[in-house]
C-alpha cells in the first residue's frame, strides 16, 4: 500500500500494523477504510507469521474521531422525505461487522488510543484485547448532538460501566479521559504518549509462538511494563463525579432524569457542559439511549449490534441525522430544529418505530 492509502498496512516482525491514515479528518472512518481493515484482518488471521495486531491513527491528534457523518448526511433522509439509502445500510452493517470481528478476533489486538477517540473510534477500540490510553486521550459518545445514538456496541459497553455512568455519558456525550476510560472499563492500560514507538518495537521483538494464550501473555507483560505511574496520571472526572452522576440519574423515568441533569445548578464546569449538551441534543436520541440500555441489559453482543443496526438505519431515514449534521458541520449554525422538538412530545410509538427492524432478516444475522 502507498502512504496515501486511507489505511496503511505494514509488518514489524510478527506484528501486523494497521494505521488509520486520514489525519486531516482526525482519521474519521469511511467505508473504504472499514473494508480495508476487514480484509487485512482476514488475511492476517490465516498468516501464521503474524502473532499480534496493532491498530493506531496517523498523526498525534486522534486514533479516530468517529464515522464519516458528512457522507451519512448526504445519504440520509430528511423530515420532509424520509428514506433509507443502500449506502447507510452498507456503512453501518460493515462497520458493526468490523467491530464484532475485533471483539472476537483469535489473535491479540493492541489499539493505541491516544488523542481523540470518539464514536466509531470507540467501536474499533472497545473490542480489542489490549486497549491503550494515554494522558492525551479524549473519549466520548457524542451522538446526541447529531441525532444519532451511542452505537458501535454502545448498548453493550455503556451498560457495563460503574453504576449509571454509562447512562449519563450516553445522554450527555460528556468527554472523558484516559483515567476515566480505565475506571469505566473502556481501557486496559494507561501509558505515556511518548512510549508508542518503544511499545511497538518491544512487541515486535517478542518470542511469539503458535500458542495464542502465550502470545496474549507476552503482550500483556510488555504493555504492563510501560504503564504510567499513578502520580503522573490525569485525574478521573468520572470517578470524582460518580456520586453526583448517581444522584442526577436516580429516577425511574427518563423525563425525571432529564430534568435532573439539565437543571443542574452547581458551578462544576464538567457537569454544566454535560447538562448543556443534553439540553441542546436530539430528544429522540435521549429516548433511544434510555431504551437501548434497558433492552440490551441481557443481550449478547451480536444481538446488540443487530438492534443497533436497525436503530441506525431508522434514525438516518427519519431525518434526525441529516438535521443534526447540518446544524453542526454543514451550515454550522448549531441550531438544530429537531422533530419532535422536545422530550415531552416524543410518543411511545415514535420510539417503538425506531427499534422496529426494517428487514425480515437482519444483514447481521450470521454474527
Catalytic residues: 67, 120, 143, 151
29: which DSSP letter? B
Cell of 182: 480505565
Backbone phi, then psi, for 54, in 5-degree steps? -125, 130
d(CA 54, CA 184): 23
Q: Contact 354/314 with Cβ under 8 angstroms?
A: yes
96-115: string of b/e by CB count within 10 Å (b at 16+)? bbbbbbbbebebbbbbbbbb
Sign of CA dihedral 114, 161, 163, 140: positive
H/E run at residue 309: helix 301-318
Q: Contact 158/141 with Cβ under 8 angstroms?
A: yes
Q: CB count, 10 Å around CB of 335? A: 10
Residue closest to 190 by CA, chosen among 201, 181, 203, 202: 181
Any residues with CB less than 8 A from the CB of 292 and at least 6 apart, and which?
149, 150, 154, 155, 307, 308, 311
What are 347-352's contacts with CB under 8 Å, separation 24+?
A: 350/284, 350/287, 351/284, 351/287, 351/288, 351/291
d(CA 88, CA 64): 20
DSSP line for 318-330: HTHHHHHHIIIII
208: which DSSP letter? -
Sign of CA dihedral 367, 364, 39, 26: negative
Amino acid at each position: 500500500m502507498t502512504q496515501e492509502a486511507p489505511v496503511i498496512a505494514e509488518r514489524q516482525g510478527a506484528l501486523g500494523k494497521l494505521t488509520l491514515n486520514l489525519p486531516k479528518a482526525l482519521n474519521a472512518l469511511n467505508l473504504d477504510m472499514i473494508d480495508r481493515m476487514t480484509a487485512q484482518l482476514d488475511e492476517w488471521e490465516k498468516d501464521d507469521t503474524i502473532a499480534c495486531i496493532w491498530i493506531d491513527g496517523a498523526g498525534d491528534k486522534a486514533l479516530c474521531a468517529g464515522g464519516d457523518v458528512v457522507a451519512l448526511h448526504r445519504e440520509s433522509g430528511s423530515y420532509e422525505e424520509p428514506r433509507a439509502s443502500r449506502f447507510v445500510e452498507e456503512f453501518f452493517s460493515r462497520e458493526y461487522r468490523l467491530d464484532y470481528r475485533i471483539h472476537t478476533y483469535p489473535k491479540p489486538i493492541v489499539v493505541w488510543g491516544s488523542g481523540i477517540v470518539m464514536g466509531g473510534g470507540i467501536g474499533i477500540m472497545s473490542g480489542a484485547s489490549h486497549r491503550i490510553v494515554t494522558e492525551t486521550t479524549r473519549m466520548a459518545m457524542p451522538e446526541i448532538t447529531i441525532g444519532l445514538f451511542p452505537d458501535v456496541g454502545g448498548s453493550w459497553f455503556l451498560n457495563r460501566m460503574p453504576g449509571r455512568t454509562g447512562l449519563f455519558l450516553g445522554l450527555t456525550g460528556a468527554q472523558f479521559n484516559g483515567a476515566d476510560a480505565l475506571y469505566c472499563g473502556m481501557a486496559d492500560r494507561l501509558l505515556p504518549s511518548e512510549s508508542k514507538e518503544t511499545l511497538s518495537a518491544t512487541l515486535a521483538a517478542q518470542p511469539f509462538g503458535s500458542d495464542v494464550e502465550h502470545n496474549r501473555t507476552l503482550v500483556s507483560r510488555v504493555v504492563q511494563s510501560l504503564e504510567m505511574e499513578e502520580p503522573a496520571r490525569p485525574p478521573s472526572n468520572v470517578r470524582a463525579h460518580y456520586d453526583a452522576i448517581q444522584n442526577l440519574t436516580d429516577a425511574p423515568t427518563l423525563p425525571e432524569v432529564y430534568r435532573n441533569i439539565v437543571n443542574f445548578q452547581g458551578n462544576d464546569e464538567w457537569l454544566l457542559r454535560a447538562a448543556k449538551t443534553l439540553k441542546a441534543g436530539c430528544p429522540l436520541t435521549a429516548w433511544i439511549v434510555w431504551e437501548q440500555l434497558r433492552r440490551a441489559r441481557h443481550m449478547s453482543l451480536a444481538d446488540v449490534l443487530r438492534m443497533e443496526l436497525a436503530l441506525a438505519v431508522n434514525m438516518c431515514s427519519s431525518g434526525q441525522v441529516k438535521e443534526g449534521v447540518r446544524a453542526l458541520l454543514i451550515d454550522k449554525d448549531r441550531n438544530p430544529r429537531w422533530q419532535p422538538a422536545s422530550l415531552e412530545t416524543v410518543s411511545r410509538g415514535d420510539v417503538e418505530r425506531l427499534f422496529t427492524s426494517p428487514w425480515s432478516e437482519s444483514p447481521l444475522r450470521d454474527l
